[in-house]
Amino acid sequence: MKKYISTIFLVFTVLISLLSACEKLDLAADIHSCIEEKIKEIKKEELRNPPAQVWKWEVDGDTYYYFTSDCCDQYNYLYDSDCNVVCAPDGGFTGTGDGNCPNFNGQIVKTLVWEDDRAN
């Protein structure tokens, strides 16, 4: 009986650990899993000032994700939906990005997907 109880306790402990490791983010929009993983990585870092944000950009039939950087003179990066860096639309020493962004023809529809709320 004692062995049975300790086995149940072990299984219960493992299940609790697994469930707590699968953190579900509260996101404003559906996103690709690799983008969600990038957000989880940011949450492991120290709190940024200003807090990190992720925006979903929809333009010309494509979806991109814009990640803000922490503070001064750093690029804010734009990723495609497969987590490949497309460009830095702004930021950097001049504030004008890296100059490698595509020429978007349509209006960019921007939706805030996530903002680090640990400061609140």
The two structure tokens encoding residue 98: 């890296």
**How many domains does the chain fold into?**
1
Determine, yes or no, domain membership for 17.
Answer: no
> Residues 32, 25, 40, 118: is their CA dihedral positive or negative?
positive
Q: Report which secondary-structure segment, H or E, holds 9.
A: helix 2-21
What is the per-residue pLDDT across 6-18, written as a single tens digit (0 to 9) for each?
555 444 444 444 4
What is the per-residue pLDDT across 28-64, written as a single tens digit (0 to 9) for each?
567 889 999 999 999 999 999 899 999 999 999 999 9
The answer, yes or no, to whether residue 19 has pLDDT greater than 50, is no
Determine, yes or no, domain membership for 85.
Answer: yes
Domain limits at 68? 27-115
Give the strands of the sheet with 75-80, arranged side by side: 85-91, 75-80, 62-67, 53-59, 109-115
Instruction: Note the pLDDT of residue 15.
Output: 47
Note the residue count of the chain: 120
Q: Is 47 helix (H, G, I), strand (E, B) or coil?
A: coil
